[in-house]
Amino acid sequence: MKTYRIGVIPGDGIGKEVIPEGKKVLEAVGKRFGLKFEFTDFPWGTEYYLSTGEMMPEDGLDTLKSFDAILFGAVGDPKVPDHITLHGLILPIRRGFDQYACERPSYLYAGVPCPLVGKKPGEIDLIVIRENTEGEYAPIGGHVYLGTPEEVAVQTAVFTRRGCERVIRYAFELARKRNKKKLVTSVTKSNAQGFGMVLWDRTFREVARSYPDIQTESLLVDAACMDFVRRPEHFDVVVASNLFGDILTDIGAIISGSMGLAPSANLNPERRFPSMFEPVHGSAPDIYGKGIANPLATILSARMMLDFLGEEEAARLIEGAVRKILAEEKIRTPDLGGKATTKEVGDAVVELISQTQ
C-alpha cells in the first residue's frame, strides 16, 4: 500500500474545525485507491505562541522537511497582532521550503450563488499564481523613534529577476497544461512602483517570448480588480506579486460564491521540499467555535495535494463529490445560504466518495 506522510498544522480558529474534515476525506479516498495517509499533527499557532513565545519551534522546518506534504488550516487570533502570527508560522514555511508558486483557482460551481448577475456555472474558471516568497512580503524594514511623533517605518519590497522569472514561467507552463484560453495575465502597479515592478514587467515580456502559443496581457492591479468583477470570464491564468496575488484571490473567492470554497497550493515545483496545501481563508474568529465553517476550501486543497502527489484519479473523485454536493443545493454551510455544520458537509463528501462506483 502506498503511504504518504502528511504534516498537519490546523493552526488557529476555524483552521482547527476544517482540517479534521480534510483529513477525513483523504482517508476516505485512500480507502478507495489503496493509499495510506499517515498524519502527524503539530499544535503550532497562537496558543503555542502564548505558552512558548514562538509560533512554531526553532527546528520546525527541520521537523516538517521529511513529510511528503503539509496540510495547513489558518493563522490569526485576536489575542496576538496578525503580523506576529503570520510572520511566525506560515510565511517562514512558504519561504523556507521555497514554495514560490501559490496556485489559487476560482471556479463557479453549479448550485453556488454568484454575487455577479447572470454568470453561469463554469463561466468563472481562472487561476491566480501568486508569487509566494518575496515581493511585498519580504521581511525587510524597520522602525526608528518607535512610538514617538517622529516615528519612521520603512518596508521594502523585494523583486529579484530569478524570483520573477521562475514564477512567471510557472504561469506560462500552467496555461499550456490547462489548455483553455491559453492566456496569461500579468498584474503589477509598475506605473507607481517603478523599480521592482518594472523588473517584473520586463521579465514577463522576456519569458513570454518562449511561449508564442500563449497570449499575454499586462494589467495594473486596479484595472485587474475591476475586471475580476466586471468580466471574470475573460481570465485564464493570472500571475501576480505576493500582495496583489493575495488581494486578487479574495475577489476571486467571493465572486465564485464564498471564501469557504477557495483552495490553495503553495508549491515547490522542483520538489526539493514539501509543498503546503491550505484554504485561502483565514482563522475567522467571528465564527470560530460555532461549527459552521465551510470545510470545502480545505477539502479542495486536499484535492490539490493529491494532484500534486500524482494521485490524479483520487483527486478527481474528491472534485466530483464536491461538485455533486454543491449542485444538489441541500447540504451546505451558512456562507452558502444553508444550515449544515462543518462536520455534516465533511460527512456528506465522505459518504459520496465511499459510494461512488
Q: Which chain residues interact with ligand GGG by CB under 6 A?
A: 74-76, 86, 246, 278-279, 281-283
> Considering only CA atoms, which of 74, 15, 8, 11 is closest in space to residue 46?
11
User: In this structure, which amino acid lies at residue 314?
Assistant: A
Q: Toward ligand GGG, which CB reaches closer, 131 or 307?
A: 131
Q: Toward ligand GGG, which CB reaches closer, 74 or 108?
A: 74
φ and ψ at residue 39, rounded to 5 degrees: -90, 135
> At its nearest, how many Å lie between ligand GGG and the CB of residue 93?
11
Q: Toward ligand GGG, which CB reaches closer, 76 or 257?
A: 76
Q: Toward ligand GGG, which CB reaches closer, 169 or 281?
A: 281
> At its nearest, how many Å lie between ligand GGG and the CB of residue 25?
17
From 189, 211, 307, 347, active-site residue: 189
Torsion angle of alpha carbons 329, 330, 336, 337, nearest 10°? 110
145 is catalytic: yes
Q: Toward ligand GGG, which CB reaches closer, 20 or 282?
A: 282
> At its nearest, how many Å lie between ligand GGG and the CB of residue 8?
13
C-alpha cell at 289: 467555535
100 is catalytic: no
Quote the Cα angle for 263-267-273, to 5°. Answer: 135
> At its nearest, how many Å lie between ligand GGG and the CB of residue 283?
6
Write the DSSP assignment of 194-254 as a string of letters.
Answer: TTHHHHHHHHHHHHHTT-TTSEEEEEEHHHHHHHHHH-GGG-SEEEE-HHHHHHHHHHHHH
Return the SS3 of 127.
strand
> Considering only CA atoms, which of 63, 66, 69, 72 is closest in space to residue 22?
72
222 is catalytic: yes
> At its nearest, how many Å lie between ligand GGG and the CB of residue 120?
29
C-alpha cell at 284: 475567522
> At its nearest, how many Å lie between ligand GGG and the CB of residue 306?
19
> Considering only CA atoms, which of 54, 243, 44 is closest in space to residue 130?
243
| Radius of gyration over every alpha carbon of the chain, rounded to an integer in angstroms | 20
Beta-carbon contacts of 126 under 8 Å, excluding residues fewer than 6 positions away, are 105, 106, 232, 235, 236, 237, 238, 252
Q: How far is CA 111 from CA 124, 188, 254, 340, in A?
A: 13, 34, 15, 15
189 is catalytic: yes
φ and ψ at residue 229, rounded to 5 degrees: -90, -45
137 is catalytic: no
Q: Toward ligand GGG, which CB reaches closer, 30 or 163?
A: 163
From 145, 180, 290, 330, active-site residue: 145
From 41, 68, 227, 250, active-site residue: 250
Instruction: Just list the catalytic residues.
Output: 145, 189, 222, 246, 250
